Structure 1
Amino acid sequence: MPKSKTSLKLRLPRIKATQAEHDETINKIASLRQFYHYVEIKGTQTTQVHKHPLPVWDEIHPLIPLTVKDMKCLDVGCNSGFYSLILAANGADVLGIDINQTDIDVVAQAEWLESEFKTGAKFQRTDVLDLPSSHHNQYDMVLCLGVYHHLPDTDTALQKINKLMKKDALLFFGSVTNRFGESQYYAEDSAEFANDPYCYRIATPEDILEDLQENGFELVEEIPIDSSVYYGLFKKVKTTRKKTTRFTPDKIAEIVAQQRKAKEAELKKSKKSAKTKKSKK
């Protein structure tokens, strides 16, 4: 898909504030605890740690249609809501959903930002799997950014997203990836990956593509961000009717056990080799 000169608003509007309003905003941000999305508001920012997701947005927006006015969009795993807010500010009809996997209420953060920017974006605390059938075949564009590796069952989630989308609808997808080895699996609550107890699978780009293709999506264009993540624009090309899933929690637990066993065997072999070398000296 050729990148176009976009007429999109690329940043949320600046909101002027008195000193009292500025101070109140700082206190509100603190009360809502750590934000993951960087948003400038009333002379301050929701986080001082980084500017995510602005660098990602700047790579994504050239691939978004010239106008999103009246497009129906779903933001799966919306977090603090930046993508939902910016699309709604451009005229899209947006629903952002998240399930608050941690003890930080990211939906409350998004709802507060919406009350300030008044873009029209709607937010809901729900799992994508729990959206009722009235949402099926409704969405022109879906964002699933930074969600895939948090899914214990990627097949079932992608099948559901497929059902929610209209024919030829666009899917903006992004996930942590492993470009330098095999896909890695993590047991529930293990916190083995980056101290994250909600990370289940760090897949290779090849496995991610296979998963998406198996569930009715076709790659339009890969979006280069950095080597630790895989982002791409996909299009729904068929409605999936798969009834099976390859990645149930039980299956992941089985794979994790196999991986651990292999690592233990490799470690044991390494120790034995080191011991043999030492005895020959």
Structure 2
Amino acid sequence: MTTQPITTEDQRETAKFDQLAHQWWDPQGPMWPLHRLNALRAPFVTQKIQQHFNAVSLKGLRILDIGCGAGLLAEQMAKQGAKVTGIDVAAKNIGIAHEHAQAQGLVIDYRCGAVEALADIDDFDVVLNMEVIEHVNNLPLFMARTCDLTAAGGLMFLATINRTWFSWLTTIVGAEYILGWLPRGTHSWQRYVTPEEALLSLQQGGLSVQSQTGVGMNPLRQQLFLTGNMRANYMMVASKT
């Protein structure tokens, strides 16, 4: 009898995002909320990295973007001089990411696979764990591996959605079914992760949370902003000693 290897990949999630691959870079298409989010999170990430490393740029820093999709955040980091590796389980996403980066004259090491496929010798100054943990299988394994990939003295950015009634009403009922801002089935409320659960996973992996913030949206202007309210989307910044 052969046993199946343990993986953090959910093949249904992979297939879902593969279908969206060719629309990823369309700011008016079904991924437009991610474009708005990227406009908020990219400068947030940059500022926190510069503060942590006491640096004026990201030049030379090794950054891993987990669940990179078609490269929205990875490209923002590469444009600032970082050595970026992007990994995603959706092969079509990686194909689009390669093509788009080449068209922009950017060198990004894109890999198709789950996070556990990265070699044990790999570690990174910065790990971007953004909007992905609510889409994986075996969350404890996924978090343990991402913590391992964070170098001593490095940072991890974690962004996800809190598991509350408010998040169910806003991110699923509202965003997917009433307003149609996201394709139906994009999220599963049961997979959402509370800040307490995220904090525990980070601590078990040897990381300490340095800051956290909620992410809110003005539905009339379709604008995102940082807030102290973490009832739905939130971000954490954690360091490894």
Question: TM-score, with normalisation over the residues of structure 1?
Answer: 0.59
Write the distance in 2 (CA, Å) between the matches of 1:181 and 1:204: 12
- Residue 109 in 1 paired to residue 96 in 2? yes
- Residue 97 in 1 paired to residue 70 in 2? no
Corresponding position of 1:247: none
Are the aligned partners of 2:163 and 2:189 in contact in 1 as well (CA < 8 Å)? no
Are the aligned partners of 1:150 and 1:199 in contact in 2 as well (CA < 8 Å)? no
Are the aligned partners of 1:151 and 1:199 in contact in 2 as well (CA < 8 Å)? no
The one of the two structures with greater contact order (alpha-carbon pairs below 8 A, sep at least 6) is: 2
Deviation for aligned residue 1:178: 2.1
Query: Match for 2:28 among 44, 48, 60?
Result: 48
CA deviations on 1:128-184 (whole Å, 9 max, x unpaired) are 11112231xx3111101001111221111111122222112100110121245899x
Write the distance in 2 (CA, Å) between the matches of 1:34 and 1:140: 31
Relative to structure 1, the CA distance from residue 204 to residue 180 in structure 2 (aligned partners, 3 Å threshold; closer, same or farther) is: farther
Corresponding position of 2:185: 195
- Residue 64 in 1 paired to residue 49 in 2? yes
Alignment of 1:114-263 (within 5 A): 114-135=101-122, 138-180=123-165, 195-196=185-186, 201-226=191-216, 227-237=231-241
Moved more, 59-68 or 106-115: 59-68
CA deviations on 1:191-221 (whole Å, 9 max, x unpaired) are xxx5247776212222221222222221111
How many residue pairs get aligned? The number is 183
Deviation for aligned residue 1:55: 2.4
Relative to structure 1, the CA distance from residue 158 to residue 119 in structure 2 (aligned partners, 3 Å threshold; closer, same or farther) is: same
Deviation for aligned residue 1:233: 0.8
The one-letter amino acid of 1:211's match is: S
CA deviations on 1:238-278 (whole Å, 9 max, x unpaired) are xxxxxxxxxxxxxxxxxxxxxxxxxxxxxxxxxxxxxxxxx
The one-letter amino acid of 1:90's match is: Q
Write the distance in 2 (CA, Å) between the matches of 1:73 and 1:159: 18
Deviation for aligned residue 1:119: 1.8
Corresponding position of 1:264: none
Write the distance in 1 (CA, Å) between the matches of 2:45 and 2:197: 22
**Structure 1 residue matching 2:28: 3-state secondary structure:** coil
Relative to structure 1, the CA distance from residue 182 to residue 133 in structure 2 (aligned partners, 3 Å threshold; closer, same or farther) is: same
Write the distance in 2 (CA, Å) between the matches of 1:98 and 1:58: 22
Are the aligned partners of 1:59 and 1:225 in contact in 2 as well (CA < 8 Å)? no
- In structure 2, runs of 5+ residues without a counterpart are 1-19, 51-55, 169-183, 217-230
The one-letter amino acid of 2:95's match is: A
Query: Match for 2:71 among 60, 67, 81?
Result: 81
- In structure 1, runs of 5+ residues without a counterpart are 1-30, 39-45, 184-193, 238-281
Corresponding position of 1:25: none
| Bigger-Rg structure (1/2) | 1
Decide which structure has greater strand share: 2
**Structure 1 residue matching 2:22: 3-state secondary structure:** coil
- Residue 34 in 1 paired to residue 14 in 2? no
Relative to structure 1, the CA distance from residue 32 to residue 179 in structure 2 (aligned partners, 3 Å threshold; closer, same or farther) is: closer
